[in-house]
Chains A and B, each alone.
Chain A
Amino acid sequence: MNAALRRVAVAALVLFGLLFANVHYVQVLAADRLRHDDRNSRLLAESYAKERGVIVVGTGAIASSVETKDRLKYLRVYAGGRDAGLAASYAPITGYYSLVYGDSGLEDSYDGILSGEDSRLFVRRVTDLITGRQSKGGLIRLTVDPQVQAVAQRALGNRRGAVVALDPRTGAILAMVTSPSYDPNLLASHNPAKIRDAYRRLVDDPARPLRNRATQEVYPPGSTFKIITAAAALESGMQPESLVPCPRELKLPLTRDTVIRNFGGASCEAPQVPLLAAFQKSRNTSFGSLGLSLGGERLREQAERFGFNAEPDFPLPLDRSVVPEGLNQPQSAQSAIGQFDVRATPLQMAMVAAAVANRGTVMRPYVVSSVEAPDLKVLEKAEPERFGDRPAVSERTAAALVAMMEAAVGPGGTGTAAAIPGVRVAGKTGTAQRGEGQLAHAWFVGFAPADAPRIAVAVLIEAGGGVPDATGGRVAAPVAGEVLRAGLAGR
């Protein structure tokens, strides 16, 4: 029997060998992958045990962590957890930090810094460990100007839409508002049941408050796209004084009876008008015929130089603004007035205005001005960067566009509601027609002062804010005017 007993002992040893090998696999070889699995609740609990870094705007913290008596030690609060409106205003930028749904916005893209796990904070973590000092996350500072943000929020009100304001010289985002928004405090609580409840309500809301309309939604840009069409025309050698056709109806080739009409069916002063006048009055037939003569490729190329069909490196989720390839003639005509399948985010249209303001050079938009260690030592400072390897338009074209956009806001233009007394404002309205029976989206993009721009803005109000005959000039331009004024006052 001893021989069999020995063999059984060897078999038992083999079984234990398998166990040794397998624990080695789980705890060493596969450990990294398993440990960082999203469903591993431990890492989250660990991250709550440490004070998460603050997100600073102006001189205050818009997101910070407060100590609680809970099992999860720190609670993430937005706007101090007291001002739901303010928290919601910054929600498209900060995002949320949720026990159940993970994180979004900058909470997600800067998680390494905020949680203190970033390699640049490594030495500090080690010294914290040695000295027994409570380890903390790093800090991020936003480019947002709280005054401009507040004005933009108030001016937009509870209408569905978005406002983006940029410093055209740098690309720094001065305001980014989306409406409706949500209070991220609801998702950052320590009560999973309440979080799930709040989240479900937000997801089920047909107004989609979790979507950042400034960056994550694309809209037909309507007449604001005429800036790009005009840019292409000017780059092709035209002057603001060059005459362009302005028929009452522009019949599109290759189609049976599709025509482009001017807004409200208006007819022009003459069969041919200067480009500047066509721009000022936003003549669809003129720009439609420019689209025909320039062709789809030229339009697309010009739009791409402003940032379309690309995804700039940006810490918030972006939807790509599009001018499709392979446009035929009628499609080019419609695209030239910002219809057909041309789509843009409000951020993209703000970049277009900013590029014109910045003498033709597009700056890469950014929202984080600096990243700092808990002791405020600067780890990374944002350097303004050009977007793309060449300017969107030449300085000459940019100057012509400035003049045309100033005319559009000046007397006789479509955007007079954006005017500010004593300040030269440049801009372009847009009223993007949609399907039959749907209210048009109202747009305004512009900048001020026209001679030395310090702020560029894009305003989008979905379905004109519910006003039946709303236009960009009537609905969006006043909002832009207020934001521009706020931007100039503080800067």
Chain B
Amino acid sequence: MTATTLDRLPRRASELQLLVVAVLLAMAAYAAVSLAHDERVDGAVLKYGAGLAVLFGLAHLAVRRLAPAADPVLLPLAAALNGLGLAMVRRLDLAAMDTARARGVDAPSALAPRQLLWTAVGTALFVAVLALVRDHRTLDRYRYTAMAAGLALLLLPALPVIGTEINGARIWIRVGSLQFQPAEVAKLCLIVFLASYLVAKREVLSLASRRVAGLNVPRARDLGPVLLAWGASLLVLVREKDLGSSLLFFGLFVVMLYIATERTSWLLIGLGLFSAGTLVAYTLFGHVRERVETWLHPFADAADNGFQLTQALFGMATGGIIGTGLGRGRPDAVPEAETDFIFASLGEELGLVGVVAVLAVFTLIVARGVRVGLGVRDDFGKLLAGGLAFAVALQVFVVVGGVTRLIPLTGVTLPFVSYGGSSLVANYALIALLLRVSDAGRVREASPVVPTGAELTGEMTQVLGR
């Protein structure tokens, strides 16, 4: 066990150091915001810093205790994004207050304290996931529970009474005064289900096939689940008008299918179904056509449908390379600046330099997530980690691509940065799952108890040599 002990402590120490950097970064951003607004640093920066330090400190202690060999970078990366997002939400609060004062109306309630509260809930869930899921393989047993929960959550907003339509998308449920976007949690449930289901069926899905035109085409009956997923995501698209989630789920499904089977034919079938689905949606539904139209010609309708996108582009262009500086731009000119469009707010005030850094952090999260998948021994763990990592990548691509007009705009949140409880909480759970799998991979690869193959020995040497 010497390898494990040697390995464990530096990892957790690095995590702690990186977390300190993340909190300092968050405080610096918060201080810059208050400095730009009031020409002095608000004392609240200490309160926020202390709050974050306590939350991340507890999360760190939980990792130390519950997943001591886990990846040391993922939590600090998430914390840094969370802190930066918090500063930006605070910055937009100040702008909203100023606007309200200028118009002589009551200021809307501040979002930053709520976001801090959601951070607390998120880290609590993070700890809970680590505590409850002591071995990720136990999740494998809840295959159909996860599926049922995922589908239910996904389709919940489509129901009458609790389903609520906001800004044209029916992706919210409302219970009392609480609003929740269940798709974010559904994402995790469905990744768990898919990882479990696909690992169980991978033999069948990858081997039972016929060759047609040089391609291995699966048997018709094996197409069933694929078509089911396709149907579900179309339903989400049509009934809830949630293009983002629809795209996300289907993409995730196809990619996980590919990882499980290593068959390119699945990718092509997925791509074909996706194209057919979008084509049908484009012809049948006005709101889809409208999105595409806005994407192609945002400036033709800059005062109306294209307003949000054009203002976001103007904002980012005004920010240029180094940005206007935190608190010194006008990100509030963009509707939804604190949620789906927070990336444009960052682009305006932190410039190209800032958003490149933010994208780099996401790239690192995805890269570390993939490494977790590569490092773990069991197939379920591999597919779970790969799915979680790709979910982050795809979500970032969909929202950032949409905001910067690379692809049509679909409303999804930027993980950890956007304002919103559901997103924040679900993504902390996602990181917890990745850490759980990572810890398993580390413990097993470093442990000499089960050295069964040459490959393992090789990896062990690698670890020790570090």
Contact = CB atoms under 8 A, between A and B. Distances in A.
Interface residues of B, number: 55
Closest 6 CB pairs of A and B: A34-B317, A40-B314, A12-B393, A31-B317, A27-B352, A9-B370
Contact of A41 (B98, B333, B347): B333
Contact of A35 (B314, B383, B393): B314
Interface string A68-106: 001100000000000000000000000000000000000
Contact of A16 (B255, B262, B363): B363
B359 A5 contact: no
Q: What's the dominant secondary structure at chain A's contact region?
A: helix
Interface in B284-328: 299, 302-303, 310-311, 313-321
A2 B374 CA distance: 6
Interface stretch (A17-25, A365-373, A409-417, A454-462): A17-25
B298 to A, nearest CB: 11
Contact of B318 (A20, A42, A70): A42
B259 to A, nearest CB: 5
A452 interface: no
A379 interface: no
A179 B318 CA distance: 41
B153 interface: no
Contacts of B260: 1, 4
Interface in B58-109: 98-99, 101-102
B404 A20 contact: no
Given A16-B362, A24-B352, A28-B321, A41 B311 contact: yes
B401 A28 contact: no
A42 to B, nearest CB: 5
Given A22-B404, A39-B310, A45-B330, A28 B352 contact: yes
Given A1-B379, A5-B386, A19 B404 contact: yes
8 contacts: A1-B259, A6-B374, A18-B397, A26-B347, A26-B404, A31-B316, A37-B310, A43-B318
Contact of A42 (B315, B359, B379, B401): B315
B258 interface: yes
Contacts of A42: 314-315, 318, 329-330, 333
Interface residues of A, number: 37
Nearest to A71: B102
B9 interface: no
A310 interface: no
Contacts of A12: 366, 370, 389-390, 393-394, 397
Given A3-B262, A26-B347, A27-B319, A16 B393 contact: yes
A207 B444 CA distance: 88
B367 A71 contact: no
B98 A5 contact: no
B388 to A, nearest CB: 12
Contact of B397 (A1, A8, A15, A43): A15
A23 B320 contact: no
A166 to B, nearest CB: 42
B200 interface: no
A13 interface: yes
